[in-house]
Each structure stands twice: as C-alpha cells, then as structure tokens.
Chain A
Amino acid sequence: MARDGVVLAVEGVSKSFGALAALTDVSLSVRQGEVFSVIGPNGAGKSTLFNVVSGLYAPTAGRVSFLGREITGLAPETINRLGVAKTFQITNIFPEISVGENVSVASQSRAAVSGRLASLWRRADVEARVTELLEAFGLTAKRDELAENLSHGEQRYLEICLALATEPTLLLLDEPTAGMTPGETRGATALIKKIALARGLTLLLIEHDMSVVMGISDRIAVLHFGEKIAEGPPEQIRNDPRVIEAYLGPPEA
C-alpha cells in the first residue's frame, strides 16, 4: 500500500485538444476506502479526467499514479489489470450476448488462465463470482436474457457488474445513475455505497446531480472549465460561494 493510504494521485494534470484546454493543472488524491466525487457543470472536464486516469487519453502535462506506481499514459487494458475499473456514462456493454456471458467474460479477465496459452482450450470457472454479482444487483432472473433486452436501469447495473467483475481496487463510476428516475437513483446510490463498503473498494465518482453526491461522498472536488475550484467534505462544498456561482451563475449585481 502506498504512503498515507493514497490510492490514486493526480498531480498537475492538463489535457488539451488542439486549442481547447479541457483540463488545466488538476490535482487530487483519493485515499483508501473513501468515496471521492468529482462534480461540475456539463463540459467542466469531468469525463476527460476519467479518460486520463483510465488510460484512454495520455495527459498533455502532469502525472497520474495508482498505489504509488506511475500509470500516466498506459493503455486502458494495462491500467485495468493493475486494479482500476471504469464504468461508462453511456451504457457500454456487450449487447447481443446474454447477461450471464457479459459478466463471465469480464470475470475471466482475472482468472489464472487469462493471457496464457492454455486459454486457447481451457475455460476458467467463474460461475461462483458471476452468480454472486448478478445476485447483488438483482439480475439473477435476467441471466439468460440478451443484454440489449434489459431495461435502462438494469443495463446501468450490468455496466457496474462488468467493472466489478474485474476485481478492482479503485472503481471509477462515470454518472452511474445517468438516465434513471429519482426513485431508481436513490436505490442505486444506496446499493453502490453498500457494495463499495462490503468489498472495501475505493470509489471515484463523477456526477452532475448534486443530490446523489452529497449523500454518499466523503470528499468532493469541483471542476469548472477544466480547473479545480474547490475540494472538501460535502458540507463545505455545499456552502462554497465559488461552487454556487459555478452552478447558478454570478450573483445578480
């Protein structure tokens, strides 16, 4: 375990796309076992930050380290194998195979046989883990259903199942409740928190829905136009004038 129980350290990360600076000198550190949220209005650079951490983009400047090891610019599959899993804002599953097969292919990624020659003929026994995950998310009855036939809320859960199946230390959740009704959102938020606790996971969560974040986060960072404008526990963020301004616009003169 790294110094001070820091799981993820983002140090001075900037990312530009041509002339557009999506992230400017963003730093944050996520500690072991906490729920850390990144919020901000649309276009604040939240997803870009996730894409840098998970390996889709290499940052223009700065470094990212996971458990004390630098992971800046590594490929997504490499970062995943180190223990970082990511869910997607837009549901990203394997549509035309069954729910059970979806979770199986994700689980076997951590099987001993994975990446070895024997994987050409052997098949890892992932049955127990698949059953457990489907059970935790209430998808047991849908196991043989094609993933594309699930309801939106169920697909969001499957999305999380896929990430969890790779047994991460750090789970990146990109708006896990996107498109859910307020009722579903409450249920999902409670479930995510429960599962994170039970597995000792560290969560990094992106949200633009403030109500989701306030209830579940230990600490919150706020991004605005690619810069971090505040960081602290929920109470502090709720009352920070710069955060209120970013969300509601400048106070009337």
Chain B
Amino acid sequence: MSRVFGWRSAVAFAALAALPWLPGVPKYYLLLAFDALLFGAIAMSLDLLIGYTGLVSFGHAAFYGLGAYATAILLERGILSLWACLGFAIVVVGLYAAVVSYFATARRGIYFALLTLIFAEVVFTFFRYTQTFGGSDGIQGLPDALVFPGVAIDTPARKYYLVWVYLLLAYAVCRVLVTSHFGRVLVAIRENEDRARFLGYNVQKYKMLACMISALLTGLGGAIYPIRAAFATPDLMLWTESGEFIISVMIGGLGTLVGPIIGGVFFTLLRDKVSSYVDWYFIVIGVVLVVIVLFLPKGLLGLRRALGFGRWRATA
C-alpha cells in the first residue's frame, strides 16, 4: 500500500489520531479540529477537479450542503443510523451531481465554472425558501447519530474520530485515483484536452466521472457535518462557501492532494483565530491569500521546496 500511504502520511494520520489523547486538549479544540479536517478533506476532493483535471467548480457548496441536509432530514425524523445518513447523502448528492456534471462538462473554462455556480444557486434558493426544510433557519437541534444501535456519536472525541476516518478514506480514494490510469488521463486533460481526444480518450466522459467522484466525496463530508454541529442551514450552500473551498485549494497548492488538506486546515484555523478578535477577518485572510499567490504560487506545500526540504513535484 505504499502507493497510498508513504511514511509521512502514516505519521501524520497517527499524530492526528493521538490528538484526543493529549492531556489538556479542551473539547472546543476537538470540534475546531473537526471543522479544520473536514474543510481540508473537501478542499482535497475539489483538488481532483481544479488541480488535476483543470476544471474550476464554483458550486461545491451545493454538494456539501445537500449532503448535510440529507443527514439532517433523517436525524430530524428519528432515523439516527450513521450508515442510513451516508447512504441517503450518496443518493441525493449523486443524483444532483449527475445532472450538474452532464451539463457543466459539456462546456469549458469559464462556462463550466458558471454552470456549476448557477446550479448551486438554484439549490441554495430552493432550500432557503422551502419551509418544509426550515427556510433560512435550516434544520436545527438535531439528535446525535448512532454508529451502531446504542453507540451514539455524542462526545467531541467520537465526532473527531468520525472526521478522522472520513479524511483517511477520502485521502486513500483520491491517492489511488490520481495514481491510476484514470488519474493520468485527468492530468492529460488539464494539460491539453484536445490532444487527449486525438489519443482516443472520450474527454467528456472522464470529466463527468471526475466531477461525480469529487462531488460524492464532498457530499459525504457534508453528511457528517450535522453530526458534529446538530444543524444544517442553507448558508452551507452559499457561493461564498464554494469560494472558500477554492481558496483553500490555492493556499495549499494545486494538484497535490496533501496541499489542499493543509490549506483547508490553515484556512479554518486562521478564520477561527482572526474572527475571535475582529469582525473583518476576511480582510486579513485576503491579505494572506494575496501574499501566498504572489510569493508561493505552488501554495504552502511549495514552501517545503522553497526551504530546501527534498524534491517535490506538482503531479504524478
């Protein structure tokens, strides 16, 4: 399995698993870590599209939000099984993603980005104004989900391990994908999609599949969010949320998988720290982003090479 987990990622996951056992870690920090890892995992899923396939999706918040609503709707009705929630999220997000992928991948560049954005806005508007799903308040006050009958995901540590497992599996899936036959074709499409067609690849089929996989991983991330937060609101689907996913990918480093995880964690922690002092935290984040884009075009992961830690290549 060295193709998936090198010693560095093994150490990193082991360290993350040890976090709840560290003495004196307040519960609040475990929940913050949940948010950070969730954001990182979603940025990584988006990196499959942006960094590997060269498709910028401005609508990932819809996949995320739909996943969250899928869980919230079941929990609200007393269906508490984690597995039922995840299964329902896969169905809901999968159906929506199939439609979006089909239409958006028929167009290139800015049109792809705009189509994903428009679809996402439609979904946002639907949930924002549909009273069955709580309108602008969303679905609040949800009970804890159950892993097995009688085993509730109730403590911060259990919630934290849920996101840990999700990140681990999502990372393994992404790593296998980008090192496969399929991943190689995605990179070729990013580099020169016209040439890829003349090598016998049905480019739209590959793009659709990449979109579907990225969307499903994001939707599963959304599906575990209400288990930690006990709510789902339409704000999860707002276009600014999609923008924050993209920013995290860029902060971390396109086409690296690990970079966007770090980017998402960095973004979440920065937002948490800065917003606890000032309301205009987005200005600070904006400045950080500008500095990174100007001086570290390969993102935070590019720092490693800039500082001379071994050789590192962008992709494949």
Contacts and interface: CB of A to CB of B under 8 A. Distances in A.
B254 to A, nearest CB: 11
Contact of A109 (B177, B179, B199, B315): B199
A93 B316 contact: no
B199 A166 contact: yes
Contacts of B191: 94-97
Interface stretch (B61-69, B200-208, B224-232): B200-208
A109 B191 CA distance: 16
Interface stretch (B9-17, B37-45, B133-141, B182-190): B182-190
Contacts of B198: 54, 76-77, 80, 85-86, 92, 163
B181 A77 contact: no
Contacts of A97: 187-188, 191, 315-316
Contacts of A76: 197-198
B125 interface: no
B180 A120 contact: yes
Contacts of A104: 184
B192 A93 contact: yes
Given A75-B197, A109-B200, A121 B184 contact: no
Interface stretch (A7-15, A111-119, A179-187, A233-241): A111-119
Contacts of A86: 198
Contacts of A165: 199
A131 B124 CA distance: 52
Nearest to A118: B181
Range for the number of chain A residues in contact with chain B: 35 or more
A105 B188 contact: yes
Contacts of A106: 199
B194 interface: yes
A231 B176 CA distance: 53
Interface residues of B, number: 26
A108 B195 contact: no
Contact of A108 (B179, B181, B315, B316): B181
Given A77-B202, A96-B314, A162-B199, A105 B192 contact: no
A123 B192 contact: no
B180 A121 contact: yes
Contacts of A110: 200
Contacts of B199: 77, 80, 85, 105-106, 109, 162, 165-166
A175 B191 CA distance: 23
A246 interface: no
A113 B181 contact: yes
Contacts of B177: 120-121
B316 A77 contact: no
Contacts of A54: 198
User: B179, B180, B194, B316: which has the most chain A beta carbons within 10 Å?
Assistant: B180
B203 A123 contact: no
Interface string B198-221: 111111000001000000000000
A207 to B, nearest CB: 20
Contact of A105 (B176, B187, B197, B202): B187
Contacts of B194: 92
A126 to B, nearest CB: 10
Contacts of B188: 94, 97, 105
A108 B199 CA distance: 10
A123 B195 contact: no
A120 B182 contact: yes
Interface string A65-92: 0000000000111001100011010001
A110 B182 CA distance: 13
14 contacts: A80-B200, A81-B200, A85-B198, A85-B199, A97-B316, A101-B184, A105-B188, A105-B196, A113-B181, A122-B180, A123-B179, A123-B180, A163-B198, A165-B199
Which 9 pairs show the lowest CB-CB distances between chains A and B? A94-B191, A119-B181, A80-B200, A109-B200, A105-B188, A81-B200, A76-B197, A105-B184, A92-B195
Given A86-B198, A97-B188, 8 more contacts: A80-B197, A94-B188, A101-B316, A109-B199, A114-B200, A120-B182, A121-B177, A122-B180
